[in-house]
Amino acid sequence: MVQSQSARIHQEGGLACIVCARPHSSVDSLKKTLFEEWDKLPDEYLHATVEAYPRRLRDVMKAKGGRIE
């Protein structure tokens, strides 16, 4: 499940793109959708994201702030 959820988030351009895929009539509506989508993220996906952060930060530093993959 983590892989499919991760793939969905990646394919759709991140959580912001998923949340903004439908129109919102107010900031409260936008927040509600954001929280709903955030709650759908599996814990494993969040753990993997946090675990990858130090490596990605080192890559950014090595690239002197440039683009990384």
- Distance between CA 67 and CA 69 in Å, rounded? 7
pLDDT of residue 26: 95
Per the structure, the complete domain to which residue 36 belongs is given by: 2-62
C-alpha dist (Å) from residue 64 to 49, 50, 54, 56: 22, 21, 15, 12
Domain count, the chain: 1
Is residue 68 domain-resident? Answer: no
- Residue-wise pLDDT for 23-47, tens only, equals 999 999 999 999 998 888 888 888 8
Is residue 69 domain-resident? Answer: no
Is residue 31 domain-resident? Answer: yes
Is residue 67 domain-resident? Answer: no
pTM, 2 dp: 0.57
Is residue 35 domain-resident? Answer: yes
Is residue 13 domain-resident? Answer: yes
Is residue 24 domain-resident? Answer: yes
- Distance between CA 5 and CA 22 in Å, rounded? 19
Spatial CA neighbour of 42 closest among 16, 12, 9: 9
